[in-house]
């Protein structure tokens, strides 16, 4: 009988009894937080993990514990998702080496930052969180073994809004940091939906996950004062209560926040999670109530709509000037 996991489950609990020797896994964003813990847990169970980070010096320091985690191995590559030149260099170097992967975990990202642009002129959050990964993953997709998986880290923040394919760079829309974040996180889910459709006949599946609310560097723009995140958690529970829902939102530890990533990557059935959105180590339900609080759980219909996913893919190719 399979074990049941939930919001409080940690990476070590999810991976208990799982042997990953011989598995090769790529994790982006390994210079802090969830990326470091995800890599640590996988290495501890025998996986050969390649970590990608923009700042290699910072990542070297942050991942010192990963190298001591167990019988697996760990190495680093440079990857700046806010620069397509860097993305293409990193992808081309991996393809040239030709070493296969069993899983890609697209973990890196930014949240609720001030209005800005990537090196290629894209709005920072959409450009980094979605377009950077879109190009990187598609360029190395040929390295995924049959039976492989792509895990995109999304967020309940996708429920702020759908993607805007008419104005992805906020050239005609008033910029709001969390709406921009919501667009990028919806894009992460839609990318997984379409990638899954394109690759499942080859035995490769893709899914998107929400890690939960965690105090990591991701929130450095949104929560700048001590106790601000905890105050926000209390407000979320008041919103849930007002909506007649259980006021059970709790901040997660980093090991709890990383659990859904590793669960979707190497524990859950590929057929079950393929093309889906997961949270708290289970597949989320589609929620059609537009008035439901953002952090009440579930996934919006627009984020898993196949036609929306196809449209985003086409727009993304147009924006980056590359067909996949």
Residues catalogued as catalytic: 154, 181, 185
* CA pair distance 108, 17, nearest whole angstrom: 27
User: Do the beta carbons of residue 89 and residue 52 sit within 8 Å?
Assistant: no
* CA pair distance 53, 61, nearest whole angstrom: 12
* CA pair distance 88, 78, nearest whole angstrom: 11
Residue whose tokens read 């940091």: 177
Residue 213 to residues 12, 35, 163, 239, 269: CA-CA distances in angstroms? 19, 15, 22, 15, 25
Bridge partners (DSSP) listed for residue 25: 49, 103
């Amino acid at each position: 009988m399979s074990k049941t996991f939930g919001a409080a489950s940690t990476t070590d609990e999810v991976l208990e009894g799982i042997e990953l020797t011989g598995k090769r896994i790529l994790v982006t964003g390994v210079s802090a937080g969830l990326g470091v813990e995800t890599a640590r847990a996988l290495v501890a169970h025998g996986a050969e993990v390649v970590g990608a980070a923009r700042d290699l010096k910072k990542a070297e320091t942050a991942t010192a514990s990963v190298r001591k985690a167990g019988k697996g191995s760990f190495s680093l590559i440079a990857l700046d998702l806010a620069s397509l030149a860097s993305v293409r260099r990193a992808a081309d170097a991996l393809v040239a080496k030709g070493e296969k992967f069993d899983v890609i975990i697209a973990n890196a990202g930014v949240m609720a930052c001030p209005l800005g642009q990537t090196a290629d002129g894209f709005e920072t959050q959409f450009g980094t969180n979605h377009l950077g990964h879109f190009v990187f993953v598609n360029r190395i997709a040929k390295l995924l073994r049959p039976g492989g998986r792509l895990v995109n880290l999304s967020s309940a923040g996708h429920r702020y809004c759908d993607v805007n394919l008419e104005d992805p760079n906020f050239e005609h829309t008033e910029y709001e940091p969390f709406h921009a974040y919501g667009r990028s996180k919806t894009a992460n889910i839609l990318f997984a939906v379409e990638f899954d459709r394109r690759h499942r006949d080859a035995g490769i599946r893709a899914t998107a996950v929400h890690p939960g609310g965690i105090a990591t560097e991701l929130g450095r723009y949104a929560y700048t004062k001590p106790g601000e995140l905890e105050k926000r958690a209390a407000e979320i529970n008041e919103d849930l209560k007002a909506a007649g829902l259980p006021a059970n939102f709790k901040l997660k530890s980093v090991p709890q926040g990383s659990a859904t990533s590793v669960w979707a990557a190497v524990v859950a059935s590929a057929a079950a999670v393929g093309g889906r959105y997961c949270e708290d180590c289970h597949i989320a339900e589609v929620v059609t109530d537009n008035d439901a609080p953002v952090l009440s759980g579930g996934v919006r219909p627009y984020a898993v709509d196949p036609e929306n996913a196809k449209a985003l893919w086409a727009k993304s190719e147009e924006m980056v000037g590359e067909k996949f």
